[in-house]
C-alpha cells in the first residue's frame, strides 16, 4: 500500500471553529480509500483503537461488526487503524443489506454491521476488499447485478 502512512492527516477548521481531521493532500488512491473507510469505522465504533472483522465466505464479504477485540478468535480478526485521526469521510454506511452475488474474482464486499459501505452519496459504488492482496487493499465498484 504505497502512499499510506500513520502521520498522513491534517486538521482543518470548520465554520463553527471545530477542528476536523481531513486526509492530507498527496495520498495515493489506496491511501484515500483507506482514509475514508477508517473514518467510517471511527464514526461507527467511536473510541475503539481496534475493530474486529470476520470473513463471510457464503456472502463473499468482510463484516466489521465489533469494536475492540472480539471472539472467538477462530472467527474474528483484529483490524488495526493506520489513520488514528481519520474523521471526515466521503464514504458512509448504507441502509441497504449486503448484496447477493460477488464483486468479482478475489473481491469481497466490505460490510459494517451487516451493511455495505457506499463510496458516494448516490450509492452507485460500494467498497470491496481485494482478497488476493497481502495487504488490506480496497476499491470501489458498482454493486453486483
Nearest to 47 by CA among 77, 22, 27, 67: 67
Cβ-Cβ contacts under 8 Å for 105 (sequence gap 6 or more): none
3-state secondary structure of 16: coil
Query: Pairing state of beta strands 61-67 and 107-112?
Result: parallel
80-114: per-residue pLDDT in tens?
898 888 888 889 999 999 888 777 778 899 999 99
| Range of weakest confidence among 9-18, 21-30, 70-79, 111-120 | 9-18
37-46: per-residue pLDDT in tens?
999 999 999 8
Average pLDDT over every residue of 59-76 = 90
- Say what the pLDDT of residue 18 is: 40
110-126: per-residue pLDDT in tens?
999 999 999 999 999 99
Burial class (CB in 10 A: 0-12, 13-18, 19+), 128: buried
Beta carbons within 10 angstroms of residue 107's beta carbon: 18
CA 93/CA 102 separation, integer angstroms: 19
Phi, psi of 121, deg, nearest 5: -65, -40
pTM, to two decimals? 0.79
What's the grid cell of residue 75?
472467527
Amino acid at each position: 500500500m504505497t502512499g499510506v502512512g500513520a502521520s498522513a492527516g491534517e486538521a482543518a477548521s470548520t465554520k463553527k471553529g471545530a477542528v476536523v481531521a481531513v486526509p492530507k493532500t498527496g495520498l495515493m488512491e489506496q491511501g484515500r480509500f483507506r482514509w475514508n473507510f477508517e473514518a467510517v469505522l471511527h464514526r461507527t465504533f467511536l473510541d475503539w483503537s481496534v475493530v474486529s472483522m470476520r470473513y463471510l465466505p457464503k456472502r463473499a464479504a468482510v463484516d466489521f461488526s465489533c469494536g475492540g477485540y472480539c471472539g472467538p478468535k477462530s472467527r474474528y480478526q483484529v483490524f488495526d487503524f493506520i489513520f488514528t485521526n481519520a474523521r471526515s469521510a466521503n464514504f458512509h454506511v448504507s441502509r441497504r443489506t449486503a448484496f447477493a452475488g460477488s464483486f468479482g474474482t478475489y473481491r469481497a464486499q466490505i460490510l459494517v454491521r451487516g451493511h455495505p459501505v457506499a463510496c458516494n452519496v448516490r450509492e452507485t459504488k460500494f467498497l470491496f476488499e481485494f482478497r488476493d492482496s497481502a495487504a488490506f487493499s480496497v476499491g470501489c465498484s458498482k454493486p453486483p447485478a
